Amino acid sequence: MHPKALLEACADLVGLVLKFDHPADQVVSRFFREHREFGPRERATLAETVYTVLRKKLLFDHLSPSGSGPKERRMAILGFHGPRDFLKSALSDVEKRWLDNCDAVKPDDLLERHRHNLPEWLVAPLKAQLGDGFWPLVESLQQPAPLDLRVNALTDKRPDVQKELALAAIKAVATPFSPWGLRIDGKPALAKLDAFARGAVEVQDEGSQLLALLLDAKRGEMVVDFCAGAGGKTLAIGATMRNTGRLYAFDTSAHRLDALKPRLARSKLSNVHPAAIAHERDERIKRLAGKIDRVLVDAPCSGLGTLRRNPDLKWRQSPKSVEELTAKQTAILQSAARLVKSGGRLVYATCSVLPEENEAIAEAFGAANPDFEPQDVVEVLSGLKVAGAEGLGAGGEGGKRYLRLWPHRHATDGFFAAVWNRK
């Protein structure tokens, strides 16, 4: 494709994404559906350009005014994902000179905000939690996330799938913590693989796999995944139950649960029962009160642990939206807890890095519900033979550690989990 045409398309897409009226991945998908003329390589350039602009938006906002032409074109030039000479062949002489000047700017000469590219309201809580770890986190958030797969433990073994992928020229390494995970560099066409088609693997971040592991659901139990969404964790839990017992996948969005159906069919699981609920106090929930062995609450959250994949979230969330989420998280956790029978387990999890969505919710719940005893996540994972479990925990209530995963420390998305057993 001609460089000029590709750059123009990049500028158009950048303009659409920077309106922030829809999630970036949805905007990109819709753009590709409307423009069938782009091949896989052009699509990769378009998507990566957009994500680079989202990751480095404050820096590019700072550099772009000195350029010429429409702002989205300047942003697309700065974020262009592809060879420099290819890009330059699409530029005017004035633009080339401007780009050379931008390339010559040294990171050390920039203000902090142009180096970290995070909104100020997010910087303070991250620095407070991480201290010297703040800049390594920033560095990791500027990189795209690797692709993690979960091997379906019901039907396949990890080493076998690893060999099968190698035969398809896909190099996969075992994830360090999850016993089911394989990590892949790059973005191979998974849908074309037999391993994917027959349900031997699903795409799932290693951190998300660990949440399913923490629930430790056993054969024949009654289990609830309370905010199941598209069901990545549901499928992992169903496999740990060896396709026995009953696993309810509840969500308030029937649309999200629809995305679970084809995955469920591939997975060979017959113990999963998806059900759309109106709200966390739905009649269906009341009927199951006190009857469930294990409940996972992967609560709706800001998603700020997933900035490697969804860099638009840092610009689409705000202190106000987080405040609304914490009210929702508190209500959902309290309602879900009613399902747990005595001796049962409750897991609260988010993919956020903010203490107010994590530790604060867990501690308030613990204080209000003395019949729920906090468990040490590191002990639970060590008992499940997770290598390096020691490095996965952080301080919690009553000295019991929470799961706390960070991109720069664990190469996963940012995750939090707290575990309780009902007395």
Question: Which positions are catalytic?
Answer: 351
| Among 214, 223, 256, residue whose Cα is nearest residue 344 | 223
Rounded Cα distance, 418 and 35, in Å: 44
> What secondary structure does DSSP assign to 185-212, as a single string?
SS---GGGSHHHHTTSEEE--HHHHHHH
Provide the token pair at 107.
């990171």
Q: Phi and psi for 66 in degrees, rounded to 5?
A: -80, -10
> Counting beta carbons within 10 angstroms of the beta carbon of residue 19, is it exposed (0 to 12), middle (13 to 18) or buried (19 or more)?
exposed
| Among 346, 199, 179, residue whose Cα is nearest residue 270 | 199
Helices (H) and strands (E) in the chain, counts: 21, 13
- What is the amino acid identity at position 57? K
- What is the amino acid identity at position 365? F
In terms of phi and psi (left: phi > 0; alpha: psi -120 to 50; beta: otherwise), the region of 82 is left
Rounded Cα distance, 417 and 93, in Å: 53
> Counting beta carbons within 10 angstroms of the beta carbon of residue 404, is it exposed (0 to 12), middle (13 to 18) or buried (19 or more)?
buried
**H helices of 64-202, where?**
71-79, 84-88, 93-103, 112-116, 120-130, 134-141, 158-167, 194-197
Rounded Cα distance, 39 and 361, in Å: 46
